Amino acid sequence: MARFLIVLGIFGLLRGCIADRYDNHTLLRLYPQNEAQMTSILKFNDPEGVEVLKRSRGVNDSMDVLVPPDKLHLLKDFALTHLLRLEVKERNYGRKFVDLERTPRRRTMNSNPAFNYHSHATIQDIILGLAKQYPKEIRIQEVGSSYQGRKMRLVKISSNHEAGNPIIFIDAGIHAREWVAPAMAIYLIHRFVTDPSARSELNGVDWYILPCANPDGYEYTRASSANRMWRKTMSAMEGGCFGVDGNRNYGFKWGVSGVSHNPCDKETYAGPRPFSEPETIIVKRIMLEYRDRIKLYLSLHSYGQYLVYPWGYTRDRLPKRWRKLDRLAKIVSKAVADAGGLPFKVLSAGKWYEAAGGSDDFAFGGMGIPYSYTMELTDGYEFIYPEEELKKTLPTLYDGFRAFATEIRREYGKGPLRAKRDSESDEADKEENDKSEH
Ligand code: 0X9
Ligand code: ZN
């Protein structure tokens, strides 16, 4: 009996520790207000235990950091040294998770499945159910399994699967904690087939959507609030640590900037080699299989409301066609703003902060896909975007995807909807992607 009580006690203690993981952690926002402060903030190296949730794009855009109590003085010193404006956003970040845990009890189920967060298994049920209901439009392709053996499925949506239309390929959720990304993917899939007025989005373009690109990590974040901030995959590494940052694992300029080579780094470990993860191999294979037809690649992430394009590995170079990438992103941003949403901050990923091995750079530079972006959905609430906000936000973002389709159709569509392309041909675009301009 005594032994049983001891075991129970240890279990209780452990649970307490885990649940209190972010208790007394402070969420700080640091605001650079001039170029000198921007330079110093870019060089900020997170001390052990301090997590950078979001980097600053430039003057007056915050860098958000989650700080344990014993490291608070380091951050305050840093802000003081560089005269950075510092805002305490949350004094006890752990409380956020407690609130979150309460949410399911008040949870209302919506008619649209995208307005709730679901398990990976339920996401599979939703897409298989929709495919059954709309067999003409939806085809499901099994594309492989995650490290822990979860089946991954690509949802192909088309009004004519035989037409060979240009493809918009979207993946979501390579970062486990960014739950709003798979929700957006499901919203798109659901709306394309169930809303009669959205059918026009399928004219002359096909949508290939991988709604959950890191199912193991995603399930891990759902298993306990202690894991809610997990970002990586779940593969076992030497030394007992686990997980790779999927968005540092792609084989284009792998490892050259913004990565960690320490398997125990919780944020940006690039992996033992490029494409070490089954999940990134799966996305690469999809790109390889359809590379001639994919004209736009989008990787959905959160947060900060950024829409960024290559190069991500460097801030010193831009691809030759950057003006086209920039122009399209601004059209999309305007469409979202016109629908009542927040406009995107549009720039190259590397000018936001340098990070190599991202899927956007690989799609563009490695595969020759002419338009490639990372989309950071939502601003406010960091990664813990409340479920009840989804029904307001996702429909406004939808207008951005519609704008993407309009432009891709205009540039690459086959039928009468196609506008005259400018002088460059597809082939020239492909060759140009890896030539850079300063
Ligand atoms: O750092 C990332 O992987 C992305 N931001 S996130 O907060 N979702 O983690 C941005 C990736 C931008 N693309 C490249 N740097 N290639
Ligand atoms: Zn991300």
User: What is the tens place of the pLDDT at every residue in 128-148?
Assistant: 999 999 999 999 999 999 999
> Higher-confidence residue: 16 or 400?
400
How many angstroms is it from 126 CA to the middle of ligand 1? 28
Cα–Cα distance for residue pair 173/200, rounded to 1 Å: 27
Query: For this structure, is 87 an active site residue?
Result: no
DSSP reduced 3-state for 117: coil
pTM: 0.91
- Which residue has its alpha carbon closest to ligand 1 atom 12? 349
Establish whether residue 365 lines the binding site of ligand 1, counting it when its CB lies within 6 angstroms of any ligand atom: no
Q: How far apart are CA 84 and CA 69, in angstroms?
A: 20
Contacts of 285 (CB under 8 A, 6+ apart): 143, 144
**Residue 175, ligand 1, Cβ within 6 A:** yes
Q: Residue 48: what pLDDT?
A: 86
Output the CA 235–ligand 1 centroid distance in Å.
20
Which of 32-46, 55-69, 99-113, 238-252 shows the lowest mean pLDDT across its residues? 99-113
Q: Looking at the CA of 356, name the nearest ligand.
A: 1
Ligand 1 pocket check for 210: Cβ under 6 Å: no
Residues, CB-to-ion distance under 5 Å, ligand 2: 175, 178, 301
Is the CB–ligand 1 distance for residue 355 below 6 Å?
A: yes
For residue 366, the 8-state DSSP code is I
Q: What is the rounded average pLDDT for all residues in the chain?
A: 90
Distance 101 CA to ligand 1 centre (A): 28
pLDDT digits (tens, 9 = 90+) for 230-264: 999 999 998 899 999 999 999 999 999 999 999 99
What are the tens digits of pLDDT across the range 284-328?
Answer: 999 999 999 999 999 999 999 999 999 999 999 999 999 999 999
pLDDT at 17: 40
Location of structure tokens 């037809």: 293
Least confident of 215-224, 230-239, 315-324, 412-421: 412-421
Give 384 Cα–ligand 2 centroid separation in angstroms: 13
